[in-house]
Structure 1
Amino acid sequence: MRAVLTGGGTGGHIYPALAIAKGLQERFAGTDILYIGTNRGLEADLVPKAGFPFKAITVAGLERKISLANVKILWQAIRGFQEAKALLKEFRPDVVIGTGGYVCGPVVLAASRLGIPTLIHEQNALPGITNKLLSRVVDQVTVTFEDSRKYFSKGVKVGLTGLPIRPEILQAERHTALNNLQLKDDLLTLLVFGGSRGARRINQAMVDVVREFGNSQSIQVIHATGQTGYDEFIKDCQNKGIDLDKYVNINIKAYLYNMHDALGAADLVVSRAGAATLAELTVLGIPSILIPYPYASENHQEFNARALADRGAAVLVKDKDLTGPLLVKEIRSIINDAERLRNMSLASKRLGRAGALNDIIDCVEKILPRH
């Protein structure tokens, strides 16, 4: 079999595409993969490193206001469509799969026009503009969140699959994770992170959390500040008279290279609300306090967070409302109520989809020509 994957701009679009590519090769021996993206996105770096052939086309995202720049962008889109069409004719794929980002537009549209079976996967609870438009021409839409269905037009074939999870996350086990992190197994573990670059607002609130729970006999804390926020966080603690060396239960890291262990050890998580993060939390059944990144496109992280909060798996705190005292209050109200913590964990687990990758590959298989 031959398959084209496309998706770009951010890791949130690229990593699911790479997981699907690997899943196809596992399901269908000898599958040839071609990844089509842009030279401006992360895919130009990540895809070759993952070992897949990569081709770039000319395309850019439209600005959200009327401008002369959009005229140029529309011209690039036409050019990108023609380039994608030429690549598809040359590669002759059996299926084309898009995972979001503006590069998907010309590639998936060209595939549809050429009569090639097409599938798109939407990671977020609020579908992006590109995927909403493409949903009208593709053979199958797959989604991470049940809440996404209502945003697609009636008659669009939508399948709830979840988001592919890294194997090391699926294999995470609490006792092993605690040992690897040199943490105690008789304390609750609070894991806090804001993404690879951190989240300044969360870091600022965490100063009060550290002071409140330092040397607690009931909870241990792992806080990843992000590489760019580490020095500022340490300085903020010092300015408030906090001596981190005296708090044996507080672990401050710039970056967590072993996130699978951190998640495996966690009883409660404080984080942003990216789709991949929430997929990992729910597959492991971890309760969470979610602070959506307010500048995500179309505020999609808040929609992601609400998908969990409305089902009892998380508490949603808006970034603009986040303060140290509020975060301390929310953490304390959960960890001091064993029944609530347990119920949140069960609600989170019910939303998890460990078989997401297989479900997506099943959907691909159903639209292949022989079917």
Structure 2
Amino acid sequence: MKVVVTGGGTGGHIYPALAFVRFLKKEEPHARIKYIGSETGLESDFVPRAGVAFSSVKISGFKRKLSLHNVRTVYRFLKAVKQAKKMFKEDRPDVVIGTGGYVSGPVVYAAARMNIPTIVHEQNSVPGLTNKFLSKYASRVAISFEDSSSYFPKEKVAYTGNPRAQEVSSIRSENPLASFGLVPEKRTVLVVGGSRGARPINDAFLDSIAEIERKDYQVLYVTGQVHYEKVNEKMEASGRPANIAVEPFLHNMPEVLPHIDVLVTRAGATTLAELTALGIPSILIPSPYVTNNHQEKNARTLETRGAAYVHLEQDWSKTHFIETLDELFETTATWERMHEAALNAGVPDASNRLYQVIKEVIESK
């Protein structure tokens, strides 16, 4: 089997793609897998580090208003389509899978025009422009949230979930909390604002340090590099409470998550796939700075199912932080109910489902 995977720009497009590539290597040890991405995107670093063959095309995204930039983007799109077609003529793949981001546009489109089976994978509840465009040409559209089916041609949709979920749920690791100076047996809240951090999450945490110190749970706060020094100074001034640990970034997040009781974070698709795979109750503060406000719509999907509390960024504060945690930990029954709801909201065998869709489109050609 010869497979091309494409997608990039953000980790939300890249991590699911790499999770599926790792699954496919186990299922099809002799498969030939190539990843096509942007020469300047995060994927140009992440993919080679993962040991996956990588090729690039030059492309940029559309602006949401008329501009000279968009004229250049159309030119680059057509040029990238030609680049992709040349790659496919040299070594014709059996299937091309796009996980979103503007780089997947010309690659999946080129494959479709050459009658190569194509699959678009959408991680969010509200699809981006690229995947909506590609859904007209793709053989199938794999979705992670059932709610997003209405945006795509009904006959093409397959509900597979997010491959990152299956990868995270399969990890078995020793409890690493002691390495952060925390107690492995204690209830633990993980607070994450993203790789660059999030100011409202950061400010609410700083205001809450004195109250957290009096609680019978502990907090691991991943600040992001931007806020780390400021938080460290405040922790020092507060006498470094024993039940709070602060880190700028977690390189072993998949190993930490299975040992977390509550996650306080943004509502990116990959994060939600991870927490539903593990059944982690969550407090979600969606980023308002994303396209189509898709993070809030992602978060509301879990809230509706009883798996998460959702607070908008403009309302988030120390009071909401402490009161919501108190409500969640007040009785074991509350946590258990949200744990079960989170598990039921996810798709634990997402990679396998996507694999079955791939086999179907190849066989039906």
TM-score, normalised on structure 2? 0.93
Partners of 1:193 and 1:125 in 2: how far apart?
A: 21
Quote the offset at 1:152 in angstroms. Answer: 1.7
CA contact (8 A) 1:146 1:160 kept: no
Distance in 2 between residues matched to 1:309 and 1:172, nearest whole Å? 28
Of 230, 233, 246, the match for 2:231: 233
SS at match of 1:25: helix
| Structure 1 stretches of 4+ moved >6 Å | none
Sort the Cα spacing of 1:228 and 1:300 in 2 relative to 1 into closer, same or farther, 3 A: same
User: In 1, Cα distance between the equivalents of 2:28 and 2:65?
Assistant: 44
Counterpart of 2:268 in structure 1 is: 274
Query: Counterpart of 1:11?
Result: 11
Q: Secondary structure at the match of 2:288?
A: coil
Q: Give the Cα separation in 2 of the matches to 1:257 and 1:157.
A: 34
- Determine whether 1:184 maps to 2:183: yes
Mapped contact 2:132–2:152 kept (Cα < 8 A)? yes
Which structure 2 residues correspond to residues 296-335 of structure 1 after superposition, within 5 A? 296-335=290-329
SS in 2 for 1:4: strand
1:344 aligned to 2:338? Answer: yes
Mind listing any 5+ residue stretches in structure 2 that lack a counterpart?
Answer: none
Q: What is the distance in 1 between the residues matched to 2:284 and 2:103?
A: 29
Aligned pairs, number: 365
Post-superposition shift, 1:53? 2.0
Change (3 A) 1:351 1:76: same
Distance in structure 2 (CA, Å) of the matches to 1:224 and 1:134? 36
Partner of 1:90: 90
Deviation sequence 1:131-155 (CA, Å, 0-9, x none): 1111121111111111211222333
Is 2:283 the counterpart of 1:284?
Answer: no
**Counterpart contact for 1:117–1:369, Cα < 8 Å:** no
Letter in 2 for 1:275: A
Contact 1:172–1:263 at 8 Å: present in 2 too?
A: no
Question: Is 1:243 aligned with 2:256?
Answer: no
User: Which residue in the other structure is 2:219 paired with?
Assistant: 221
Tell me the amino acid that sits aligned with residue 190 of structure 1: V
TM-score (norm 1): 0.92
Q: Name structure 1 gaps, 5 residues minimum.
A: none
Match of 1:199?
198
SS at match of 2:219: strand
SS at match of 2:221: strand
Closer, same or farther: CA 236–101 of 1 in aligned 2, 3 Å:
same
Alignment partner, residue 28 of structure 2: 28
Partner of 1:158: 158
**Cα distance, 1:333–1:321 mapped onto 2, change above 3 Å:** same
Q: Secondary structure at the match of 1:77?
A: helix
* Residue 134 of structure 1: aligned partner: 134
Amino acid at match of 2:218: Q
Q: How far off its partner does 1:310 sit?
A: 1.0
2:209 is equivalent to residue 210 of structure 1: yes
The share of aligned pairs that are identical, in percent, is 42
Greater alpha carbon shift after TM alignment, 18-27 vs 344-353: 18-27
CA 1:258/1:50 → structure 2, altered by over 3 Å: closer, same or farther?
A: closer
Q: For 1:209 and 1:331, how far apart are their aligned partners in 2?
A: 12
What CA RMSD, in Å, does the superposition of the two structures yield over aligned residues?
A: 2.0
Residue identity in the other structure for 1:357: S
Q: Match for 1:206: what amino acid?
A: F
Aligned equivalents of 2:30 and 2:76: distance in 1? 34
CA distance in 2 between partners of 1:67 and 1:304 (Å): 30
The 2-side partners of 1:61 and 1:186 are apart by: 47
Displacement of 1:130: 0.8
With over 3 angstroms needed to count, the CA separation of the structure-2 counterparts of 1:121 and 1:8, relative to structure 1, is same
Give SS of 1:229's match: helix
Report the secondary structure of 2:195's partner residue.
coil
Which amino acid letter does the alignment assign opposite residue 3 of structure 1?
Answer: V
Determine helix, strand or coil for the equivalent of 1:141.
strand
Q: Determine if contact 2:283/2:308 at 8 Å carries over to the other structure.
A: yes
- Aligned equivalents of 2:171, 2:58: Cα separation in 1: 40
Structure 2 residue matching 1:196: 3-state secondary structure:
coil
**CA distance in 1: counterparts of 2:294 and 2:271, whole angstroms:** 14
Give 1:305 shift.
Answer: 0.7
For residue 97 of structure 1, give the secondary structure of its aligned residue in structure 2.
strand
Using the alignment, how far apart are the partners of 2:275 and 2:172 within structure 1? 11
Aligned mates of 1:106, 1:364 — CA distance in 2: 20
CA separation in 1, counterparts of 2:33 and 2:44? 15
Query: Which residue identity is paired with 1:123?
Result: Q
Is this contact kept in 2: 1:140–1:159, CA < 8 A?
Answer: no
> Is the Cα contact below 8 Å between 2:191 and 2:220 reproduced in 1?
yes
Structure 1 residues 46 and 344, CA gap change in structure 2 (3 angstroms): same
TM-superposed deviation, 1:313: 0.2
Partner of 1:80: 80
